[in-house]
């Protein structure tokens, strides 16, 4: 087959892809997607279900080994477009990589101060107080995202939100009901806002993936609550001032769950097929190639593609040797992956919804005169209006 490909900056990629899919263009045949965008495409019938290819021995190699993918990843990419329940319905995309949200910390800073990494959320809050401006006014305890982007709430925020027992959405008949102003949500948001004000960067509202990772890498932040791979790339030799000093522990849990092990939200970079493609058999061959065990091992071992979505690749001795240089990284991921899952409730307008949610969080943090209960009630009304109209 002949392959033509294009690359684009993430900031404009999703917008331009949406335009093409909405116009029912047959190109691109395949495209990269995140798990939340997948729900939007599913609701608009933009996707080609993949089960017919996976189940056909004439189209899928006998050594493809579909069962080798971490089950939680496949469950998160299998969705029923009517009920929007994960783990049900057809497989709508195949994983290329994933991330979860443990705590990365600077072990040099912790060792110098005789501190232990957090096991509970209470520990994390206490450390934010102890490490506030630990090395002068430009230093801070915890790097967190705060930019005006939906991704601000999909890392540590939604992970902690669910650990408090809070729920974002439920379906009641044909209606969506938001629970973001419930008692559990109010408690969690108070905790999170206090965490940012006490331990976060002074200019938290400007922090994205890049700034949060850089703050850990240059030693201004003692901890990072973000994607595991953000800290991983800061820790590789020569990547940052603190390379070699970064370590990982599982996501902290509420005090009452100490010892139970943290769960995390889950993000998956995936390949999906355009339902309007005119070259579906060829597109499947390319998709099969990129998700086959042999290619995924090559990408992990030779090109440091972290994190590989296949268990056999993750456990491959050569890949284990690569990640063994990052203290606690491999053990933390293996401990957490099977109990981590997408913590948002699948819905057909996810990205718009999470932008509204991020806007509310930023207002609660930055406007000290705002009433948190009122802000969350307004958010509930906005979410229900968006979903039900």
Confidence of residue 187 (pLDDT cuts 50, 70, 90): very high
Rounded average pLDDT over 138-163: 97
pTM of the model: 0.95
pLDDT tens by residue, 87-102: 999 999 999 999 999 9
SS3 letters for the chain?
CCCCCCCCCHHHHHHHHHHHHHCCCCCCCEEEECHHHHHHHHHCCCECCCHHHHCCCCCCCCCCCHHHECHHHHHHHEECCCCCCEEEEEECCEEEEEECCCEEEEHHHHHHHCCCCCCEHHHHHHHHHHCCCECECCCEEEECCCCCCHHHHCCHHHHHHHHCCCCCEEEECCEEEECCCCHHHHHHHHHHHHHHHHHCCCCHHHCCHHHHHHHHHCCCEEEEECCHHHHHHHHCCCCCCCCCCEEEECCCECHHHCCCCCCCCCEEEEEEEECCCCCHHHHHHHHHHHHCHHHHHHHHHHHCCCCCCEHHHHCCHHHHHHHCCCECHHHHHHHHHHHCCCCCCCCCCHHHHHHHHHHHHHHHHHCCCCCHHHHHHHHHHHHHHHHHC
Statement: residue 371 has pLDDT above 80: yes
CB 348 within 8 A of CB 84: yes
pLDDT at 215: 98
Average pLDDT of the chain to the nearest whole number: 96
| Residue the block writes with tokens 């938001």 | 178
Instruction: For residue 264, give the nearest of 99, 88, 94 by alpha carbon.
Output: 99
For the stretch 255-308, pLDDT in tens is: 888 777 778 999 999 999 999 999 999 999 999 999 999 999 999 999 999 999
Q: Is the model's pLDDT at 84 over the cut of 90?
A: no
Q: 341 pLDDT exceeds 80?
A: yes
């Amino acid at each position: 087959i002949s392959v033509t490909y294009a690359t684009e900056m993430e900031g404009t990629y999703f917008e331009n892809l949406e335009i093409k899919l909405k116009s029912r263009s047959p190109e691109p045949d395949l495209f990269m997607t995140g798990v939340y965008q997948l729900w939007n495409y599913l609701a608009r019938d933009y996707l080609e279900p993949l089960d017919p290819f996976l189940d056909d021995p004439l189209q899928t190699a006998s050594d493809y080994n579909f069962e080798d993918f971490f089950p939680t990843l496949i469950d998160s990419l299998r969705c029923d477009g009517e009920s929007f329940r994960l783990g049900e319905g057809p497989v709508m995309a195949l994983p290329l990589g994933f991330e979860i949200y443990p705590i990365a910390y600077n072990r040099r800073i912790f060792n110098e101060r005789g501190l232990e990494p957090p096991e509970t959320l209470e520990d994390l809050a206490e450390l934010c107080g102890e490490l506030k401006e630990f090395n002068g006014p430009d230093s801070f305890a915890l790097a967190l995202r705060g930019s005006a982007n939906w991704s601000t709430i999909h890392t540590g925020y939604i992970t902690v939100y669910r650990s408090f027992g809070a729920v974002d959405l439920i379906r009641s008949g044909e209606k969506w009901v938001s629970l973001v102003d419930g008692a559990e949500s109010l408690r969690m948001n108070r905790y999170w806002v206090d965490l940012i004000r006490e331990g976060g960067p002074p200019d938290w509202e400007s922090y994205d993936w890049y700034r949060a990772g850089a703050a850990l890498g240059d030693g201004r932040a003692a901890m990072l609550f973000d994607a595991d791979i953000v800290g991983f790339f800061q820790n590789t030799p020569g990547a940052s001032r603190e390379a070699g000093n970064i370590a990982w522990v599982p996501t902290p849990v509420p005090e009452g769950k100490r010892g139970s092990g943290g769960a995390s939200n889950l993000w998956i970079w995936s390949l999906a097929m355009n339902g309007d493609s005119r070259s579906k058999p060829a597109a499947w061959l390319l998709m099969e190639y990129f998700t086959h065990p042999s290619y995924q091992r090559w990408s992990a071992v030779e090109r440091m593609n972290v994190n590989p979505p296949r268990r056999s690749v993750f456990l491959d001795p050569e890949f284990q040797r690569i990640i063994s240089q990052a203290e606690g990284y491999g053990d933390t991921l293996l401990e957490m992956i099977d109990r981590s899952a997408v913590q948002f409730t699948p819905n057909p307008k996810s990205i718009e919804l999470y932008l509204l949610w991020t806007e509310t969080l930023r207002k609660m943090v930055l406007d000290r005169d705002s009433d948190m209960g009122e802000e969350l009630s307004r958010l509930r009304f906005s979410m229900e209006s968006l979903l039900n109209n």
